[in-house]
Amino acid sequence: MKHGKRYIAAAEKIERGKVYETAEAFTKIQEIATAKFDETIEAHIKLGVDPRQADQQVRGTVVLPHGTGKNVRVLVIAKGDKADIAEKAGADIVGAEEIIAKIANENYLDFDVVITSPDMMGQLGRVARILGPRGLMPSPKSGTITQDIAKAIADTKAGKVEYRVDKTAIIHCIIGKKSFGPEKLKENFDTLLDAIVRAKPAAAKGTYLKSVFVAPAMGPGLKVNVRV
């Protein structure tokens, strides 16, 4: 893979082979995130699990103390009182059959998170093939199928993120923006890592946290020393 001059210049600021302490890593990120916009900062965590095994899946949600820095557009699929609650709780879009039809017929995807009540899941299944591959299909594990619509909206707007191990046993997750500064990024990172450690499957053997990297979206990663 070829990289541009800005990426190469940033990579030269990272000491080859060094494993950074967490606080130092986020200070260094302030130096290497040099894009002309407020770069998203990500964590990439390699786990010692076999994601092909059902009893070694790692998935959950956590509310980052400082949010993600992203304005999250929330779609709520609900009717009646729950629709009214969703509107009052600050959902960006609220609808039922008409929104499902719009997704199905027009490939409407102008939202980041879908929250629904259990009674609407039968109808929402019509668009599972559209929402699923994009990570937008509601699920109980992510807290997006719920009777408590207001809390789900509040948590999402406050910075709730979903972490999920992929087929290569890596979790990729946003932990904020460069503008947060080192301290807030570290607090978000620590919160995420603590949740992932607590989610360790009983069937996972050996070293659980294989490697942990943090990186700006447009720059190189730094390996972080984590002690669990």
pLDDT in tens, 68-108: 998 899 999 999 999 999 999 999 999 999 999 999 999 99
The share of the chain scoring above pLDDT 90, in percent, equals 82
- For residues 115-121, average pLDDT: 95
Q: What is the mean pLDDT of the chain?
A: 93
DSSP 4-42: -HHHHHHHTTSPTT--B-HHHHHHHHHHH--SSS--EEE
Distance CA 11, CA 54 (A): 38
The contacts of residue 110 (CB under 8 Å, 6+ apart) are 73, 93
For residue 11, what pLDDT is reported?
81
pLDDT for residue 12 is more than 90: no
For residue 228, what pLDDT is reported?
56
Q: Would you call 136 helix, strand, or coil by DSSP?
A: coil
Distance CA 113, CA 227 (A): 33
- For residues 105-121, average pLDDT: 95
132 closest CA partner among 123, 122, 124, 141: 124
Specify whether the CB–CB gap between 69 and 161 falls below 8 A. no
For residue 188, what pLDDT is reported?
97
Q: How confident is the model at residue 1 (pLDDT cuts 50, 70, 90)?
A: low
For residue 54, what pLDDT is reported?
92
CA distances (Å), 150 to each of 87, 94, 105, 132, 184, in order? 9, 12, 28, 23, 26
Distance CA 228, CA 225 (A): 10
In the block, residue with structure tokens 């190189």: 220
pLDDT for residue 210 is more than 60: yes
pLDDT tens digits, one per residue of 157-197? 988 998 999 999 999 999 999 999 999 999 999 999 999 99
∠ CA 42-23-41, rounded to 5°:
15
For residue 35, what pLDDT is reported?
87
Both ends of the chain: CA-CA distance in Å? 34
Task: Write phi, then psi, for 218 (nearest 5 degrees).
Answer: -110, 15
